[in-house]
Amino acid sequence: MKRVVITGLGVVSPLGNDVTAMWERLLNGENAVDTLTKIDISQYPAKVGAEVKEWNIDHLVEPKEARKMDSFIQYSILAADAAHRDSGLDVKAIADDVGIWIGSGIGGVETIDKQASILHERGPRRISPFFIPMMIPNMASGQVSIYLGAKGPSNCSVTACASGTNSIGEAFKVIQRGDALAMFAGGAEAPITPLSFSGFCANKALSTNPDPNTACRPFDKNRDGFIMGEGAGVLVLEEYEHAKARGAKMYAEVVGYGMSSDAYHITAPSPEAEGGSKAMNEALRDAGIRPEDVQYINAHGTSTPLNDMLETKAIHNVFGDHAHNLAVNSSKSMIGHLLGAAGGVEAVITALSIHEGRIHPTINCETPADDCDLDYVRDRNRELDIQYALSNSLGFGGHNATLAFAKVND
C-alpha cells in the first residue's frame, strides 16, 4: 500500500481565513463565538454562533462566476487555493492524477433558503437557473476541480458532521491504492441561515446560553448544547514518494481510517458508545498501531450533554487504562461546530499539532462533568511530542469516523 502524507493546508474559519492566524489564535485560547449577525436573533432561543468574517473570492474567481456559488462553495475554493499554494504542487503537470473529495453535511442551504423565499413571494418563474448547481453538496468538489484543473477522482461524502472526516479518509484510500498521486480533501459548510438555524433550534441541539464567552463548554458539567459555526478545511494529501521526490514539506502522515454506524437513533449516540469505539478501533487497526502508541486525540467534543459523555466513554472503551495518559482537546470550544466542515478543519489542526509539537487548550471547561474524566488540556496550550494522534467526528444518523495521523518518519 502507498504511504500518504499531508503537504498542504488551507482553512476558512471563524478564527481567521488562513492557517497561521487560526493556529496562533487557537494556541492562545481565543474565542470566535459571538452574538450572531447573519440572522435576526430576536426570533430564536439561541443567540450566538461562530461566523466567518471578511472573506471574498474576487481575486480567484470572476465576480460573475462567484455569484453562481453558494458560500460553502466559495469557502471551499478559498481553502483549496490556500492548501494548493502551501503545498507547492504543480497540479496542471499531473492533472489526471490529482483528485478532489470535499464533503458537506448540508450543502447550499443558504441558496435553498433564499430561493424558497423567492418561490413563495414571486413564483416559480423567478427561481434562479443556477439554483440546483449552487445548492447540491457535490458542487464544492466540482467547482474546486474546475478551479484547479484537477482531472482525477472527484467525489463528495455527505455524512452530516462526519462529512469532512469521511472525505479525508476516502481520499486517503484513493491514494493508498494507487488511483491518484494527490487529493484535495476536507469539508465545507455555510449553515448560518434562518432556515437551518430554525431547524437546529427546533431539535434543541443548540446552546441557549446568550453569553458568547461561556456558551461553548465541551466536557464541562454546565454545557447545554453546541454552537453553530461555519467555514472550510482542505488538506493536500499526497503519495509519499511523489512528495519526497519534489522536496515537499510534510506536516504529518495519514496512517489509518475507521468508520461505523451506531444503528441506534437519528440524533443520539448509542448508549454504550459502540459506534464511536468501533471507528477508533478500526482506525488503529488500519494504521497497524496499538492504543498505547497514541498520545493525542482531537475530539468531536461538541459541548452537548450526550456527545461529550459518550465520546469520553468510547475513549475509555478503546484505550482502557491508557485513556488517562492521552491529551484530549476540543477545537469546537473556540470555533464552534462547523458541521460538515468540522472534520476538515480539525484534521488541519491535528496535522499542525503533530508538526509543531503543541496542542491548543479546551476553553471554558472549568468544572469537568463527573462522566467526563479525561485530560482535556484545560486552561492553556501544551507542548507535546506526538507520534500518533486521532481525530474523531460523529454525525446525525449515527455516522462515526476517525482518522489516525503520525509524525512523518523516513
Answer yes or no: are the C-beta atoms of 48 and 31 closer than 8 Å: no
Instruction: Clarify whether 372 is annotated catalytic.
Output: no
At residue 410, the pLDDT reads: 78
| pLDDT averaged over 10-residue windows placed end to end, the chain, 410 residues | 98 97 98 97 96 94 96 98 98 98 98 97 97 98 98 98 98 98 98 97 96 98 98 98 98 98 93 97 98 98 97 98 98 98 98 98 97 96 98 97 96
At residue 379, the pLDDT reads: 84
Q: How far is CA 183 from CA 19, 29, 94, in A?
A: 19, 31, 11
Establish how many alpha carbons lie within 13 A of residue 114's alpha carbon, considering only the half-sphere containing its beta carbon: 17
In terms of Cα–Cα distance, which of 7, 240, 174, 246 is closest to 166? 174
Give the model confidence (pLDDT) of 191-213 as tens digits.
999 999 999 999 999 999 999 99
Catalytic residue among 84, 156, 161, 365: 161
Catalytic residue among 84, 242, 337, 355: 337
Q: How far is CA 22 from CA 8, 106, 320, in A?
A: 15, 24, 33
In terms of Cα–Cα distance, which of 310, 348, 316 is closest to 218? 310
Q: Helices 305-319 and 274-287: crossing angle, nearest 10°?
A: 40
Q: CA end-to-end span of the chain, whole Å?
A: 16
Q: Helices 139-148 and 71-87: crossing angle, nearest 10°?
A: 40
Answer yes or no: are the C-beta atoms of 269 and 278 closer than 8 Å: no
Alpha carbons 15 and 21: distance in angstroms, whole number:
7
Answer yes or no: are the C-beta atoms of 102 and 156 closer than 8 Å: yes
Catalytic residue among 300, 355, 360, 399: 300
What share of the chain in percent tops pLDDT 90?
98
Instruction: Clarify whether 365 is annotated catalytic.
Output: no
Alpha carbons 315 and 376: distance in angstroms, whole number:
12
Instruction: Clarify whether 300 is annotated catalytic.
Output: yes
Alpha carbons 225 and 267: distance in angstroms, whole number:
13
Domains of the chain with CATH codes: 4-245 (3.40.47.10), 256-406 (3.40.47.10)
Alpha carbons 51 and 192: distance in angstroms, whole number:
8
Give the model confidence (pLDDT) of 329-371 as tens digits.
999 999 999 999 999 999 999 999 999 999 999 999 999 999 9
At residue 126, the pLDDT reads: 97
